[in-house]
Structure 1
Amino acid sequence: MMTSHSFDRIKIPAAWWAAFRQLDIEAYDVVRRAQLPLSILTEPVEVTTAQYFAIWQSVSELIGDPAAGVVKLLTESAPAQWPPSVLAPYHARDYRDALKRMARYKQLCSPERLHIIEEGEVCTIQLEWLYSEQPEPPLLVYITLATLLDLGRNGTGQPLTARFVELTQPMPAGNVKALEEYLGCEVQFGAQNNRLTLHLSDLDRHFISYNAELLDILIPALEKSLEEQQRSKSMTETVKWIVKRSLSAGRPDIQAIAKELGMSERTLQRRLTDEGTNFKQLLTEARREQAREFLADSSLNTKEVAFLLGYEDQNSFYRAFRLWEGDTPSNWRAEQLGMPPIQ
C-alpha cells in the first residue's frame, strides 16, 4: 500500500460539492459517511487517494442509480465550474489533442494516469491510480471514462460512441442498460483493467470549441504549474517508487520510466544527477529494499521473490543479494527476521 506516499495528494475544488448536490446528495452526508473531517467542506485541502476513494464510495452508497448519476453529472455540469486543467482540453484543436492534454494536465489534480494507446483502428485509454493497490470505486471509474467520451462529444458537436468499455467491477446497482445507451456500446464487466476503447478515426475530428486565444492563456500557466509540481518532488523518490511498481513485469529501463514521467530520457538523467544519483543506482536500491520487504512475507519463497524483483532466474537474485547483505536470502531471513529458512 502506497497511500501514505508524500506525492499522494488530490485537490478538492469547491465546485465538487455543488456537483454532488445535483444528485440530491448533501456534501455533509458524503464527508460524514467517508469518516473525514468536516473542515474539508470549508477549507482548501488535499486528500490522499484512500480518502478520495472513500468519498466516491460514499457517493456511490448514497446515490440511487449510478448510471443515472453519471448521465446527470455530465449533462448538468457547468464549464464555468471546471478547473483550468480540465477546461483546457475542451478547447483543444481536435479530439486527439484534447485527450493528450487531459492526460497531461490531470497530473495537476490527482495522481491518476491515463495511458493512451493507438493501434490499428482503435484508441484504448486505460486508467491507473499510482498510489493505491485497492480497486477504484466503480462510480468513479464510470464518471472518468464517460467524461473522456463526453470530451469528444462536446468538442466535436457530434454524438460519438465508444467502441467498447471494459470495467473490472460490476455496477453495484442501477440500470446497466442506461449506461450502455449513454456510452453507445456494450459494457464488459470483470475485465483485468478499466479501459475505454474509441474509434481511432474519431480522434482526427476537429473541435468546434477550439479556442487558440484561450489556450495561449491557459497552457503556459498549466505548464508552469506542472513544472513547479515536478520540481517540488524528489525525482529520486519518484523514480524509485515507479521502479518498485514495475519490477514484477521485468527489469524496467530508463526510457520507460522517462516516458511515464512525461519527460525525455536526457531530462530524467539530468534531474537524477542533480540529486546526486543515477538510474542504475536507484534500480539496485529499489530491488534491495523490495527484497527485504518480500522476504519478510513468510508466504513467499525465494524463487517467488526473485520473480517479483524482475530477475530472470533465481541464481541471479542469489548473487545480487549476497552482494547487498553478505548472505543468502534464506539465511538472511532466518537471522534477521527469526523465520525458518524457506527455499
Structure 2
Amino acid sequence: MTAADRFRISSLLPGRLAEQKLALPALLRRAGLPATFFQQEKIHATTAELFALWRAVGEISPDPGIGLKLGAEPRMERYHPAAVAAVCSRTYRDALQRMARYKQLTCPEEIQITASGDEATVNFIYHEAKEDEPEVLIDMALAWIFSVGRRGTDGQVTPLRLELKRPVRNRELLEAHFGCRVKFKAGRNALVLRKTDLDRPFVTHNEELLSAIGAQLENELEARANSADLGEQVKRTLKRSLAGRRPVLTDIAQELGMSTRTLQRRLGDAEITFQQVVEDTRRELACHYLKQSGVELNGVAFLLGYEDANSFFRAFQVWEGTSPGEWRTRQRAEVA
C-alpha cells in the first residue's frame, strides 16, 4: 500500500454490514481480505482492496438495493464529520463543495462537480483504480450525494437523471429511489441535477456547528498537507541514502534535523508509517533502475538497500505482480 493509495474505512462499517445480514468472515473470504481486516485499530485499504470488499458485498447480499440503503443513512450520529458539515451547509452547492474538499482526508477519491447549460453533474473518480468500480459502491456513493441534498432541502431536490455504465438492471428499484429516469450503458457513473437546485438553501443549515466542524476539518487538511510534504522529504532523503544501506528511521530523522520520536509522530499524523514510505520509495526506484539497461538485477537490489537479491525479487513480485526480469523485458518490448 503506497501513501497515495490509502482509503480510511469507518469503524462503523462492520456493524452496518452486519445489520444488512452479511456474515463478515464469509464476506472477507470472498473479497480475499485477511480475517483480521476489520480488527485493525485504524482500518485502511488500497483501491483494489476497497473494490474487492464492495464487489463481495454485491455478490453475497441477496438485496439488490443494499448500496442504496447504505448510502442513504438517516442517522446523523453515523455521519463522518465531513458529512455533518455538508448537512449543516448553507446550500446544496456549498454542501457538495465541502464534501469534495473534505473527501481528501479519507481517500484518493475525487468528487467531481461540473456544470453545463442547465445541468450540474456529480461523479466520483478513483485515481488509483485499475478496474471498473463495483456497482454497490457506485450506488452507495451516488445515493449519499442524493440523500444529503434531499435532507438539506427537505425533499426539494429531484435529479434529472442517473447515468450508469452497467447494462440494464434493477431499473424500477433505482428509479424509485432517485425519483428520475436511469440511463444505462452510459459513458460514466453520474448523478445529473438541475443547476438551479445547487442554489437551494438548506433548512438544516447550522452556522455554529458548521464553524466548529469546519475549523476542525480545515486543521486536519492543513496537517495532512504538512505531513505529505514531510513524506516527500523522507522519500527524497531515502533516495539519496538507500544504496547499499538498510533504511533506518533514526538515520533519516537525523538527516532531517529532528528526533526519531518527532518524525514518527509527524508521519503518524499523516496516517502513514516509515515502512510505507520506504516501500513506496523502493518501488519508484526499482522501476527507474530496471529501465536502465546497464544495471544488473543484483545491482538493483543493492541500490535499494536490500541485504540480498531474493528479498528484492519477492518485494517486486508483490508490487508489480511479476518478476523484475519479466518486467524489464516487457518494458523493453513496449519501447521497441
TM range (shorter): 0.5 to 0.7
Please state if 1:205 is matched with 2:208.
Answer: no
Matched residue, 2:28 = 31
Matched residue, 2:227 = 232
Please state if 1:55 is matched with 2:50.
Answer: no
Alignment of 1:258-269 (within 5 A): none
Please state if 1:119 is matched with 2:116.
Answer: yes
Of residues 160, 163, 166 in structure 2, which corresponds to 1:163? 160
In 1, the alpha carbon distance for the partners of 2:38 and 2:121 equals 36
Calculate the TM-score normalised by the size of structure 2. 0.66
Please state if 1:146 is matched with 2:143.
Answer: yes
3-state SS of the aligned residue for 1:38? coil
Matched residue, 2:17 = 20
Matched residue, 2:180 = 185
| Alignment CA distance shift 1:25-1:125 (3 Å) | same
Of residues 80, 85, 96 in structure 2, which corresponds to 1:83? 80
Is the 8 Å Cα contact of residues 72 and 143 (structure 2) preserved in structure 1? no
CA offsets 1:51-93 (integer angstroms, 9 cap, x no match): 0111101100111132x22343345542101221222101101
In 2, the alpha carbon distance for the partners of 1:61 and 1:33 equals 9
Unpaired segments ≥5 residues, structure 2: 233-283, 292-328
Query: Which residue identity does 2:33 align to in structure 1?
Result: L
Please state if 1:42 is matched with 2:57.
Answer: no
| Alignment CA distance shift 1:169-1:230 (3 Å) | farther
Is the 8 Å Cα contact of residues 95 and 203 (structure 1) preserved in structure 2? yes
Q: How much has 1:169 moved relative to structure 2?
A: 2.2
Is the 8 Å Cα contact of residues 67 and 137 (structure 2) preserved in structure 1? no
CA offsets 1:77-110 (integer angstroms, 9 cap, x no match): 4210122122210110111100000111111121
| Alignment CA distance shift 1:40-1:26 (3 Å) | same
Query: Which residue identity does 2:58 align to in structure 1?
Result: S
| Alignment CA distance shift 1:33-1:341 (3 Å) | closer
Of residues 191, 196, 204 in structure 2, which corresponds to 1:196? 191
Please state if 1:137 is matched with 2:134.
Answer: yes
Is the 8 Å Cα contact of residues 9 and 48 (structure 1) preserved in structure 2? yes
Matched residue, 1:215 = 210
Is the 8 Å Cα contact of residues 105 and 221 (structure 2) preserved in structure 1? yes
| Alignment CA distance shift 1:43-1:203 (3 Å) | same
Q: How much has 1:235 moved relative to structure 2?
A: 9.4
In 1, the alpha carbon distance for the partners of 2:210 and 2:153 equals 17
Is the 8 Å Cα contact of residues 23 and 72 (structure 1) preserved in structure 2? no
In 2, the alpha carbon distance for the partners of 1:180 and 1:53 equals 25
Q: How much has 1:129 moved relative to structure 2?
A: 0.4
3-state SS of the aligned residue for 2:188? coil
Please state if 1:176 is matched with 2:174.
Answer: no
Identity %: 33
Matched residue, 1:108 = 105
| Alignment CA distance shift 1:201-1:38 (3 Å) | same
Is the 8 Å Cα contact of residues 23 and 73 (structure 1) preserved in structure 2? no
Aligned length: 247
Query: Which residue identity does 1:226 align to in structure 2?
Result: L
In 2, the alpha carbon distance for the partners of 1:340 and 1:22 equals 49
Query: Which residue identity does 2:216 align to in structure 1?
Result: A
Query: Which residue identity does 2:6 align to in structure 1?
Result: R
Is the 8 Å Cα contact of residues 166 and 188 (structure 1) preserved in structure 2? yes
In 1, the alpha carbon distance for the partners of 2:210 and 2:335 equals 61
Is the 8 Å Cα contact of residues 72 and 144 (structure 2) preserved in structure 1? no
Calculate the TM-score normalised by the size of structure 1. 0.65
> Which stretch of structure 1 is more off in the superposition, 117-126 or 99-108?
117-126
In 2, the alpha carbon distance for the partners of 1:122 and 1:337 equals 44
| Alignment CA distance shift 1:231-1:170 (3 Å) | farther
3-state SS of the aligned residue for 2:36? helix
CA offsets 1:136-185 (integer angstroms, 9 cap, x no match): 101101111111111100011025221111112237x6x32111111111
> Which stretch of structure 1 is more off in the superposition, 97-106 or 125-134?
125-134
